[in-house]
């Protein structure tokens, strides 16, 4: 598969919330190639919430639709814990309710480069806003 891409943040723990196992395995491979440590994958809201209670997570990739249910409970739990995440979906950003419009969206199918860029942006320390 070529040389592994150097992650700016190797070893960071990324939770994968995905109900399609082939997609989950592909995500695991891409994350490993990028130097991240994979938590999961988990395939349901209940599994994701239990994992958040049990594991230290640095960021997450959350499928928007888990077996026909929207994953907003997972998104809310991640937000409450201050864990950055991106939605993963075959639909566009316009399929998200207004209160979720500002979250990053990985539009399926996406490649390793897009995944890596999105996670690097999520995990990079934010610069404090300068007061003008």
Buried b (16+ CB within 10 A) or exposed e, 13-31: bbbbbbbbeebbebbbebb
Beta-bridge mates of residue 69 = 66
Could you give the domains of the chain?
16-95+103-123 (3.40.50.2300)
What is the separation of C-alpha 93 from the centre of its chain, rounded to a whole number of angstroms?
15
Mean pLDDT computed over 98-116: 94
11-68 tens-digit pLDDT: 899 999 999 999 999 999 999 999 999 999 999 999 999 999 999 999 999 999 999 9
61-101 tens-digit pLDDT: 999 999 999 999 999 999 999 999 999 999 888 889 999 99
What is the predicted pLDDT for the residue at 130? 55
How are beta strands 69-70 and 65-66 bridged, if at all? Answer: antiparallel
What is the predicted pLDDT for the residue at 76? 97
More confident residue, 124 or 44: 44
The token pair that represents 36 in the structure block: 């991240």
Q: What percent of the chain has pLDDT over 70?
A: 87
């Amino acid at each position: 598969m070529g040389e592994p891409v150097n992650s700016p943040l190797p070893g960071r723990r990324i939770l994968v919330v995905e109900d399609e196992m082939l997609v989950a395995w592909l995500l695991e491979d891409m994350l490993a190639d990028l130097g991240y440590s994979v938590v999961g994958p988990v395939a349901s809201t209940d599994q994701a919430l239990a994992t958040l209670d049990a594991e230290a997570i640095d960021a997450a990739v959350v499928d928007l639709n888990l077996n026909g249910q929207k994953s907003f409970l997972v998104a809310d739990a991640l937000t409450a814990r201050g864990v950055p995440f991106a939605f993963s979906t075959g639909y566009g950003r316009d399929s998200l309710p207004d209160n979720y419009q500002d979250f990053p969206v990985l539009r399926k199918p996406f490649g390793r480069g897009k995944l890596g860029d999105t996670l690097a942006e999520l995990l990079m320390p934010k610069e404090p806003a300068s007061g003008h």
